[in-house]
Amino acid sequence: MNVKLLDSSKEKMELRIGESSPAYVNALRRYMAFEVPTMAIEDVEFRSNNSILYDEMVGHRLGLVPLKTDLKSYNLKNECKCKGAGCAQCELKLTLKGSGPKMIYSSDLKSKDPKIKPVYPQIPIVKLLDGQDIAFEAIAVLGTGKEHAKWSPGLIYYRHVPTVKINKQPANSEEVVSRCPRNCFEVKAKKLSVKDNDACILCNDCVEFTNGDIEVGTANDFFMTVESWGQLSPSDIMIKGVEVFNAQLTDFKKLLADVKE
């Protein structure tokens, strides 16, 4: 196997994973999307709310606000020293108080920990009219995407690296070039050639159109993309996903040692 970094930014990272298998790359994807913990609001206690949205609706919206996550300072509740009772290492309190007329945004949430705050300050929570007010205390905890999508760290997907091969020069090369939706081909000196192999999306139009003069297939290489919702950086999502995978395999190895006679 080999891994090459193709693109990296604050929100997105793209890798090329060579000589692997769909099963392996998909396992990585599932660990990143569903086993990497992030922080999200789980409990809300309302002091007052006479806005147009009832308490449950506001609570649901609050749960979906991505919070910047610090995995070094917080534990999953069931793995915490407090044994799930709730302490400063596994719970974070956020409060909000506002009265109308105004729009309440995610930036109005006051966090007890300045490091853990909404990633995007402009998420609307509820619009208050004149005379309406809202006040609550919310508890954010670490959780994983397998329990609820609000704890998912991002969108992770992969696709096969395509292989486009020209077996025989087709009669209508120019039309092959113009038909391809991804601009994979070019004609130079009346000869059709593959200009951009990696852009191919396996639509197979060129194969059908040329009656098999062009062959499209897949290699055992993959493009993997991690798009973060903002709680963690894309590289943190990848590293943590692999760490959780590793820890579960280590646990399994220990269990296997116990069952051996």
Nearer to Zn ion, 62 or 80 (CB): 80
- In the DSSP assignment, the letter for residue 176 is H
Nearer to Zn ion, 141 or 164 (CB): 141
Q: What minimum distance in Å lies between the beta carbon of 140 and Zn ion?
A: 13
88/90 Cα distance (integer angstroms): 6
Q: Which residues bind Zn ion (CB under 5 A)?
A: 80, 82, 87, 89-90
Q: What minimum distance in Å lies between the beta carbon of 141 and Zn ion?
A: 9
Angle, vertex CA 30, rays to CA 26 and CA 31, nearest 5: 115
206/175 Cα distance (integer angstroms): 9
**Proportion of the chain in helix, strand, coil states, percent, rounded to 5:** 30, 35, 35
User: Is the alpha carbon torsion for 185, 187, 188, 189 positive or negative?
Assistant: positive
Nearer to Zn ion, 90 or 224 (CB): 90
Q: What minimum distance in Å lies between the beta carbon of 41 and Zn ion?
A: 17
Nearer to Zn ion, 67 or 141 (CB): 141
Nearer to Zn ion, 57 or 85 (CB): 85
Q: What minimum distance in Å lies between the beta carbon of 93 and Zn ion?
A: 13
| Nearest in space to 89 (alpha carbons), one of 102, 103, 79, 97 | 79
Q: What minimum distance in Å lies between the beta carbon of 87 and Zn ion?
A: 4
Q: What minimum distance in Å lies between the beta carbon of 88 and Zn ion?
A: 7
Q: What minimum distance in Å lies between the beta carbon of 76 and Zn ion?
A: 9
Q: How far is CA 19 from CA 31, 81, 181, 192, 221, in A?
A: 20, 42, 27, 29, 5
Q: How many residues does the chain have?
A: 261
Nearer to Zn ion, 80 or 176 (CB): 80
- With contact defined as beta carbons under 8 Å apart, do 41 and 125 qualify? no
Phi, psi (5° rounding) for residue 104? -90, 125
| Angle separating helix axes 22-34 and 234-259, nearest 10 degrees | 110
Nearer to Zn ion, 90 or 237 (CB): 90
